[in-house]
Homo-oligomer: A and B are copies of this chain.
Amino acid sequence: MTAITEPEVAQHAAQKSAMEPLIFERSKKGRRGYQLPDLDVPEQPLDDLLPAALRREEIQDEVEVSEVDVMRHFTRLSKLNVSIDAGLYPLGSCTMKHNPRINEEIARTPGFAWSHPLQAEHQVQGNLELLWHLEQTLKEIFGLPRVTLQPVAGAHGELTGILMVHKALAKTGNARKYILIPDSAHGTNPASAAFAGYQIKELKSNSRGTVDLSTLEAAVTEDVAALMITVPNTLGVFESEIKAMADILHAKGAYLYCDGANLNSFVGIARPGDMGIDVIHSNLHKTFSTPHGGGGPGAGPVGVSESLVPFLPTPTIERREDGTFYCDFSHPDSIGRMRAFHGNFNVLVRALTYMRSMGPTGLRRIAQIAVLNANYIRARLRKTYHLPYDAPSLHEVVFSDKLQTPKDVHTLDIAKRLMDYGFHPPTIYFPLIVSGALMIEPTESEPKEELDAFCDAMIAIARETEERPELVRSAPHTTPVRRLDEARAARQPILRWTKK
């Protein structure tokens, strides 16, 4: 029976899918994937409608395929992906939770899906009411007086928030120069601050991974516009001194911006507004379950404290005495519009559906079980993997590869090897303050047995590292493709198909 384990035999099935050609390579003359109704108006000579110079020739090299070809192609492509519906997807900082299907159903209601963004307000009262309710709900969750729903992602929310801070400070005559950002922060924080017109000053974390009050105090000069901080931070550690931080900043006329990417860990348990936070964005595609879609779309509403309300993007959605709703553009100090139309409306629909499904008890339970699950993994793996920061963590836990590097097995290898065990790897090499970080966020969705299977796999990999390190170093072995030559991709970039 030796024959049957030979790789060329064992991989036929996988290869069939893995060898799926590009849709362009499936093209064949005469095939067709669509039909339109026959043109039902008298056809006029093209030249009478549009001068030839403004027209194009045929779209060269565009595809000719049937609907069957398209169905096959994308079905096969889909099979090359792992997904939340199939198992744990513990990307730290990404809150890969269960995406309820009722949200998808509601978003597809024709009255929502086919409403047009430039309709008269009286024609879209349902939409405006929905947005209004979502703002009310987020206000309560944030403990802040107003929320803008326009930003379509976390980073977009960050830019919105910092632009408001800038405008508010500019109004006092001095927009200031710096935004303080801890070294544990996500890359979008400095990038957004820069796009908002600020320079970045990085704050060093202490041994708990958090920011010392003294560090902050020393850094907050008259030139500092705001501190941009993630709570809990990217190690999952809560900044217990958050209120004192706010006081320090406020005393100097600076603002406290909270990156709310980790809201899942304390939603319904504590409120940013009660911590002295002035601005916070929430990634609805994280805490509020809108599906990640292979990289988006998301939404990044921003809540603000009273002093920043005048600077919110326009329009805001308001309710009249008579119960009707309207868009209010009368905010002279507004930073302006962050995007055409009303943001990612149909992502917002999904998020509100989710908030209603959870209710106050459910939101609280999210945080409780998310934190329980993360701490369970922490407890099960802490003897096997190095825990660089020992402070109690909430919804995620960050290990490092320190115990494995002596065998020349690194975080990347561990991540790849996890794939052979059927798991998507955690976030790796982030936060930057941990060398070889493995950042694990299970979310509240995961059942105990899935967490156990994951921990068992991690422990097995640690054992393999001792006994057969090459096996781990050369992983993955069972995926549709194996380790890629990423350097080659960057050195000689091929960024599109071209006809041979």
Contacts and interface: CB of A to CB of B under 8 A. Distances in A.
A241 interface: no
Contact of A10 (B10, B76, B79): B10
Nearest to A99: B71
Interface string A403-425: 00000000000000001111000
Contact of A468 (B3, B14, B87): B3
A12 B98 contact: no
A9 interface: yes
A479 to B, nearest CB: 7
B100 A87 contact: no
Interface stretch (A194-202, A267-275, A303-311, A469-477): A469-477
A188 interface: no
Nearest to A479: B13
B98 A68 contact: yes
Interface string A74-93: 01100100010111000000
Of A12, A28, A101, A448, most buried by chain B (CB within 10 Å of CB) is A12
B100 A420 contact: no
- Secondary structure of the A side of the interface? helix
Contact of A16 (B1, B83, B421): B421
Interface string A3-41: 111110111111111000000001010000000000000
A9 B474 contact: no
Most buried by B among A4, A11, A453, A470: A4
Given A4-B477, A67-B98, A67-B100, A9 B86 contact: no
B474 A422 contact: no
Interface residues of A, number: 51
Stoichiometry, copies per complex: 2
Nearest to A419: B13
A384 interface: no
A393 to B, nearest CB: 23
A421 B7 CA distance: 13
Contacts of A75: 83, 85-86
A324 interface: no
B13 A422 contact: yes
Contacts of A136: none
A368 to B, nearest CB: 14
A478 interface: yes
A354 to B, nearest CB: 12
A196 to B, nearest CB: 39
A435 interface: no
A69 interface: yes
A319 interface: no
A359 to B, nearest CB: 10
B477 A447 contact: no
A66 interface: yes
A137 interface: no
Contact of A85 (B16, B71, B445): B71
A141 B139 CA distance: 63
B421 A478 contact: no
A72 interface: yes
A361 B422 CA distance: 48
Nearest to A420: B12
Interface in A445-500: 445-450, 453, 468, 470-471, 474, 477-479
Contacts of A450: 72
A68 B419 CA distance: 21
B422 A69 contact: no
Given A13-B478, A420-B13, A72 B100 contact: no
Contacts of A16: 87, 421-422, 453
Interface string A436-448: 0000000001111
A95 to B, nearest CB: 14
Given A12-B478, A16-B453, 20 more contacts: A3-B470, A4-B471, A4-B474, A9-B420, A9-B471, A10-B477, A12-B421, A12-B422, A13-B419, A13-B422, A15-B422, A16-B422, A17-B86, A26-B447, A28-B447, A28-B448, A66-B447, A67-B98, A67-B100, A72-B86
7 contacts: A10-B10, A13-B422, A14-B478, A15-B422, A28-B447, A67-B98, A68-B446
Interface of A: 1, 3-7, 9-17, 26, 28, 66-69, 71-72, 75-76, 79, 83, 85-87, 98, 100-101, 419-422, 445-450, 453, 468, 470-471, 474, 477-479
- The 4 lowest CB-CB distance pairs between A and B, nearest first, are A16-B422, A75-B85, A13-B478, A4-B477
